[in-house]
Amino acid sequence: MERDLLGKALLDYYNGNYTENIMTSTNISDEDELPLPYLFRSFKNMPKLEQKALQLCHGKTLDVGCGSGSHSLYLQEKGIDVKAIDISKGAIEVAKKRGVKQVERLNILDETEQFDTILLLMNGTGIFQEIEQVGKYLTCLKSLLKKGGQILIDSSDIQYMYQDDDGGLWIDTNAAYYGELDYYLSYKGEDEIPMKWLYLDFDTLHLACTSVGLKCKKIMDGKHFDYLAKLY
């Protein structure tokens, strides 16, 4: 997020300068709009899967990649001790202004405290970036868990994105993993530095958890190949 266009967009929206949405695309999909109001969603406008995750939070909680802080604000109002972190300067500024009390600009890999619940929402596996890095991130997350703690994370099996009109699949078998995407984001005529964004199907996540000594249980399926999992 070096140019921090996401942060810029969040700040614009927060400051009442909402004139356009973020545009996203990937190496396997065309341009799509990411509506800024969605990044400021209230509990009632959240997908069921996110609502479920919030209901399962208990104890000292870490909201990883908090964005504008929507999930943290809800938890805070429920009396949960929540800390929000993000690598985006703009996101942190907005989360602070919206009233999140404990908020820090921090990469998850640099977190040192321990938590009862670690929350990663809106394709939480995205921040792992590449299939090769899943073990590293899971090991880090596991080290941040207090005894009896849980990680709540959502993702999707995006195999459907490779389906052509006759139902055939065109997955590149030379690629490391079909959920590893190149992700492009632009806002107000500026292009963000391309990044990797990882979607993990449940079985692959389960396997990766087993290899670092975490248990992995599916909590619920979403509406469109997405799911919420609990790692513990």
Check binding of 75 to ligand SAM (CB under 6 A): no
In angstroms, give the least distance from the CB of 166 to ligand SAM.
32
Q: Rounded to 5 degrees, what are φ and ψ at 35?
A: -65, 125
In angstroms, give the least distance from the CB of 168 to ligand SAM.
30
Of 74 and 202, which CB lies nearer to ligand SAM in the complex structure? 74
CA–CA gap between residue 161 and residue 215 (Å, rounded)? 28
In angstroms, give the least distance from the CB of 213 to ligand SAM.
22
Check binding of 86 to ligand SAM (CB under 6 A): yes
CA–CA gap between residue 62 and residue 90 (Å, rounded)? 19
Q: How far is CA 46 from CA 2, 182, 184, in A?
A: 28, 26, 24
Reading phi first (left if > 0) and then psi (alpha if -120 to 50, else beta), residue 225 is in: left
Check binding of 179 to ligand SAM (CB under 6 A): no
Check binding of 39 to ligand SAM (CB under 6 A): yes
Strand partners, 85: 64, 104
Residue pair 154/226 in contact by the 8 Å Cβ criterion: yes
Interface residues for ligand SAM in 111-150 (CB under 6 A)? Answer: 121-122, 126-127
Check binding of 82 to ligand SAM (CB under 6 A): no
Q: Give the amino acid at 168.
A: G
In angstroms, give the least distance from the CB of 98 to ligand SAM.
12
Choices 64-72, 146-154, 207-215, 218-226 (CB under 6 A): range interacting with ligand SAM? 64-72
b (16+ CB within 10 A) / e for 146-164: eeebbbbbbbbbbeebeee
Interface residues for ligand SAM in 95-114 (CB under 6 A)? Answer: 107-108
Give how many residues touch ligand SAM by CB under 6 A: 19
Binding site residues, ligand SAM, CB under 6 A: 1, 6, 39, 64-67, 70, 85-88, 91, 107-108, 121-122, 126-127
